[in-house]
Amino acid sequence: MTSPPTIDNQEHFMPERPATTVARWNGLHPIGTPVTAYPGCRPEDDSEDERLTTRTRSKAEVLGGHTAVVWVEGHGACIALTHVDPDHTARFPAVAVPCPTCQSAAGQLCTSHGGSRTRRHDVHQTRTAAFAAAQQTGEN
């Protein structure tokens, strides 16, 4: 390996209580938020599995005291929040371009730790820069 290790201060490895996840989700994502939902496997587990481009139709809540879930349009059952991604490009416009640092494809969130962990709260600075450069050269 020739590349230096990256230091990531944004990661939190402590498991989170479901009520905390729900409270944060509801604070950020009101009913009707555009999302991509994965009723089966997440794309990093099975890229062929079903995905829904939809929007939420409920607030998030804790199901059975242990799982944070939300309901989305077009799917009858609730889906775990771990299987519902808010529309990335709405939150992170830079996701529209591939990431030079972690090699995430356009439309995919950045990853850390060799791709094993999705960065849900930010994107790499190099990607933001690449996006800004693309905006300057690609639009006129």
Total residues contacting Zn ion (rule CB under 5 A)?
5
Phi, psi for 54 (deg, rounded to 5):
-150, -160
- Tell which one of 79, 81, 94, 102 touches Zn ion (CB under 5 A): 102
Q: Does 128 bind Zn ion (CB under 5 A)?
A: no
Binding piece for Zn ion, criterion CB under 5 A, among 28-36, 54-62, 81-89, 93-101: 93-101
Q: Does 124 bind Zn ion (CB under 5 A)?
A: yes
Q: Does 99 bind Zn ion (CB under 5 A)?
A: yes
Q: Which is nearer to Zn ion, 22 or 102 (CB)?
A: 102
Residues 6+ apart with CB under 8 A from 39: 50, 52, 75, 77, 79, 83
Q: Which is nearer to Zn ion, 37 or 130 (CB)?
A: 130
Q: Give CA–CA dist 110/113, Å, rounded.
A: 10
Edge-first strand order for the sheet with 52-55 is 52-55, 34-37, 84-86
- Tell which one of 88, 110, 118, 130 touches Zn ion (CB under 5 A): 110
Q: How many residues are present in the chain? A: 140
Nearest Cα residue to 70 out of 103, 43, 106, 31: 31
Residues in contact with Zn ion by the rule CB under 5 A: 99, 101-102, 110, 124
